[in-house]
Amino acid sequence: MDMEQETKTSQGSQEPVLSNGVNKKLLQLTIARANGPLFDGEVARVTVPGASGEMTLLAGHEPLISPLKAGIILIARENGDEESFTIENGMLEVSNNQATVLI
């Protein structure tokens, strides 16, 4: 069954959620290096320095694997707060509303 068809509304909220309870409007993001995670949480969007150009990812993004070049990862939280990480290079994988950046 398509995940888009498996949505419901969370109790007391009008925000759509997936059948596993994840907020459909937010993307689960993990930024990690070999010695552990730098960031792990839900974001409204994340912008990364892809090898072919800057990419902004939102919840529900199509599956993707891409190398990353030196630059800045910019995270925007649902409340509007922003956080950034400077990287030399890395790898991005996106699937099932989860984005993982390995640096």
Residue extents of the structural domains in the chain: 22-102
State which residues of the chain have pLDDT below 50: 1-15, 18-20
Quick one: fold of 22-102? ATP Synthase; domain 1 (2.60.15)
Per-residue model confidence (pLDDT) at position 23? 57
Residue 3: what pLDDT? 34
| Total-model pTM | 0.77
pLDDT for the residue 17: 52
35-52 confidence digits (pLDDT tens) = 999 999 999 999 999 999
Q: Which residues of 18-48 are buried (b: 16+ CB within 10 A; e: fewer)?
A: beeebbbebbbbebeeeeeeeeeeebbbbbb
Tokens of 74: 């910019």
**Terminal CA-CA length for the chain:** 34
Q: What is the pLDDT of residue 6?
A: 37
Q: What integer pLDDT is reported at residue 83 of this predicted model?
A: 97
